[in-house]
A and B are shown apart, each in its own frame.
Chain A
């Protein structure tokens, strides 16, 4: 192959990962490596990460011993590959910055390939704030190894000491002899690939924080221009030649089974493909409208077997009655000695993620191989599901994840990829399945509802002597109290959720922190203490203390809490999760009808060393406002298994007119490792608002969403 040809191929391969015109399955990982043979390939051993947090998967590389991580093209293009995906949380900028930092090049020089199972290493699902602590390190390690090797090669070529060389923006310079070599020059050397196809040494040195030039500085979304021009192809924007639009028959409610269906009316429609495989019934047609009509024709004939299902009005009793192994409070002795004993139950409603882009997938079959474009937080998991569903070889399936329109934990599981592939197989043409908003509201999964029971005792001095906390249904994240409490036990117990449920931004720590922080306010009142003083008196964690002090100082808590008004209230809350810490103060106003407005929020957040301040600010702002939705209004209503508010008209998420005055402090800790920042900032806002309602009304809030007591 001539250099000219190589250059063309390299460019086309790199582009193809996000270009909708790319032919499916035209590149396998092996092809990719072979095609890029004239370039430089660095393979790095990814650390083996055990499954964490209840089997939610690792964040920095599975047990694959060798993974190709980055590539230097002979045209100077540098590609970095990751199994992480971009859903708006900022991984694209952050991983790009990490690689650029260690390679010694500008971030704009890098092309980050994300979530394409044929090209990238499996970095685990994009969940649990794990990209920053578990994927950034191996990316930096690989990039640093590449830089070290490149310098070594230049030194060897020139016969000089590597210490005499300097690197700047992808150019290696030997000042004494005034010679330079670019990374691209080195990539053009024919014997390089073999020389460099080796594991990165585990002890490679990465740049220390004080030397950072890219990391730690604001890096905007690298493909931001494509977002503002409409050029970016989200998964639901992928168009393939001859593509059809698919629809799938949905049950009218939870707990309903399909008995029979008559496909004839739909089959009689022109150019409509109809598929039934067991309980799966779907159609594909040349337009969305025809597909909708066809599935409606089928739905009219469907016979369903129903079973009694609970309703949202009775859900908390339903969950509690079915709770398994509810632990009794083991601290009866402490409670008997306590000066005061408090007990309260908090309820948290099911809510929906409602990402702006509903679930979608485009599937295409060619020569027995399957290519799927979809929006998922779990590319390799969904890839495996396709392999299993269709009995294919692993390398016969390629799953691509274009940057997609929001997930918030809601796109870790799903079936849209399998639905599209089934329809495409039957149709013999590519098929796009895009869920409607009503489908998303009903059949995507929900943040679990919770019943949380807490009991605690205080001694005569207002010191916590025992703490017993039980979460029914929602799970254990964030369940351990950060407060000193004599004896403490916190447990999560399972029950039978009547609705589909799964991960949601910060998981159960939202509900657990809501209940704990509201109850801490109740305890403070019982102890006759200020909520801030009561917390500080029981708080050893210096990081939580620091954010709590930062937020309350900015809010002027000590003066504000003294001013009592039935129409204005202030509240605070703090917490820790995923090794980051947060505190929030909120001011609310109540009108005569009891309608609440959140006027001002001061939040302080700390997640170690800040990698990208502009993105972290977006994440914190987004968390606060998203958290206000669950605090103020969001709850799934359902009756006998049927979702009643599957629309943005009846399920009201935050809008522009909800946005309060926001005063956010991001505390930077250059002395600490960076951890994720996309989840924990959500956990303090709901309890801060609830405590503000108490401050104004004197009545406790014990449920989300908050109903202002009248």
Chain B
């Protein structure tokens, strides 16, 4: 029996009628064609699927789509204001904080959530917050630089 999910995605009201057991990640990618949110492991170990729900970061890979009902979803595609990059995106560009770039949307979304929660994070807080994210290119040093730069830009 399909369920009807009504939610806001990147500021747009959306309605999806689908199997309630489908993962939010699959609905974003397959139904809404928002492919910026990535599948990395399906188990919540890598953070590639990170989105913000009501401003808090969530793993879209193991959330059923029903968990997004009546909520406000922000994906990587919703971060720009027109052509203007979000400061966190700017920071990742400035630090060349990507190699293959597949983990990048999740890293950026998590950084956005971090700076909402802790506008002035310590080095230890940055590492702890980001530790649930994997980058297999192991570009961690430049990603850390980008997070620091983004935090600095807010000050």
Contact = CB atoms under 8 A, between A and B. Distances in A.
On whether the two chains bind one another, the answer is yes
Interface string B82-103: 0001000100110010111111
A619 B141 CA distance: 11
Nearest to B106: A356
Nearest to A655: B131
Contacts of B136: 353-356, 406, 408, 626, 653
A228 B98 contact: yes
Contact of A653 (B23, B29, B96, B134): B134
A288 B26 contact: yes
Contacts of A608: none
Given A230-B75, A655-B131, A655-B134, A356 B35 contact: no
Contacts of B131: 655-657
A52 B105 CA distance: 38
A536 interface: no
A656 B144 contact: yes
B41 A437 contact: yes
A621 B30 contact: no
Interface string B39-56: 111110110100000000
B139 A621 contact: yes
Nearest to A232: B101
B59 interface: no
Given A229-B76, A229-B79, A356-B134, A224 B43 contact: no
Contacts of A629: 138
B19 interface: yes
B99 A88 contact: yes
A578 B140 CA distance: 25
Say which size band chain B's interface belongs to: 35 or more
A622 interface: yes
- Specify which of B19, B98, B99, B140 lies most central, judged by the most chain A CB atoms within 10 Å of its CB: B99
Contacts of B43: 437, 647-649
B115 interface: no
A689 interface: no
A225 B85 CA distance: 9
Given A229-B79, A355-B136, A648-B43, A224 B98 contact: yes
B135 interface: yes
Contact of A239 (B35, B89, B141, B143): B35
Nearest to B143: A656
A289 interface: yes
Contact of A356 (B23, B34, B102): B102
Contacts of A258: none
Contact of B76 (A230, A233, A288): A230
A120 B77 CA distance: 31
Contact of A237 (B21, B26, B35): B35
B130 A289 contact: no
Say which size band chain A's interface belongs to: 35 or more
Contacts of B21: 289
Contacts of B127: 656-657, 659
B142 interface: yes
Contact of B103 (A233, A289, A356, A404): A356
Contacts of B92: 228
A234 B36 CA distance: 9
A546 interface: no
A656 B93 contact: no
- Specify which of B77, B138, B144 lies most central, judged by the most chain A CB atoms within 10 Å of its CB: B138
B77 A287 contact: no
A230 B99 contact: no
Contact of B99 (A231, A622, A649, A654): A622
Nearest to B21: A289
B100 A406 contact: yes
A437 B40 contact: yes
B37 interface: yes
B35 A230 contact: yes
Interface string A237-264: 1010000010000000000000000000
B57 interface: no
A648 B100 contact: no
B80 interface: yes
A629 B134 CA distance: 12
Contacts of A90: 99
B22 A287 contact: yes
A405 B137 CA distance: 9
Nearest to B97: A228
Contact of A405 (B19, B75, B101): B101
A239 B33 contact: yes
Given A288-B26, A649-B43, A618 B85 contact: no
Interface string B106-146: 00100000000000000000011011011111111111100
B60 to A, nearest CB: 13
A621 B141 contact: yes
Nearest to B30: A287
Contacts of B143: 656
Contacts of B140: 621, 625, 654-656, 659
Nearest to A436: B42
Contacts of B105: 228, 230
Interface in A133-174: none
Nearest to A356: B102
B104 interface: yes
A648 B18 CA distance: 30
A227 interface: yes
A213 interface: no
Contacts of B103: 356, 405
A357 interface: yes
Contacts of B48: 356
Contacts of A228: 76, 85, 89, 92-93, 98, 101, 104-105, 108
B134 A289 contact: no
A199 to B, nearest CB: 35
Contacts of B19: 287, 289-290
A614 interface: yes
A613 to B, nearest CB: 11
A137 B63 CA distance: 49
B39 A434 contact: yes
Contacts of A484: none
16 contacts: A87-B100, A220-B93, A229-B85, A231-B36, A231-B77, A233-B35, A287-B22, A353-B136, A356-B103, A405-B100, A406-B136, A618-B139, A622-B99, A625-B141, A655-B131, A655-B133
Interface of A: 87-90, 220-221, 224-225, 227-234, 236-237, 239, 245, 287-290, 353-358, 403-406, 408, 434, 436-437, 614-615, 618-619, 621-626, 629, 647-649, 653-657, 659, 662
In order of increasing CB-CB distance, the 10 nearest A-B pairs are A230-B36, A88-B100, A405-B102, A227-B101, A230-B76, A625-B138, A648-B45, A237-B35, A88-B99, A356-B102
Interface of B: 18-19, 21-23, 26, 29-30, 33-43, 45-46, 48, 75-77, 79-80, 85, 89, 92-93, 96, 98-105, 108, 127-128, 130-131, 133-144
Given A355-B102, A626-B137, A649-B43, 16 more contacts: A87-B100, A88-B99, A228-B85, A230-B105, A239-B35, A287-B22, A356-B46, A356-B100, A356-B137, A357-B40, A403-B100, A405-B103, A618-B137, A621-B140, A622-B139, A648-B45
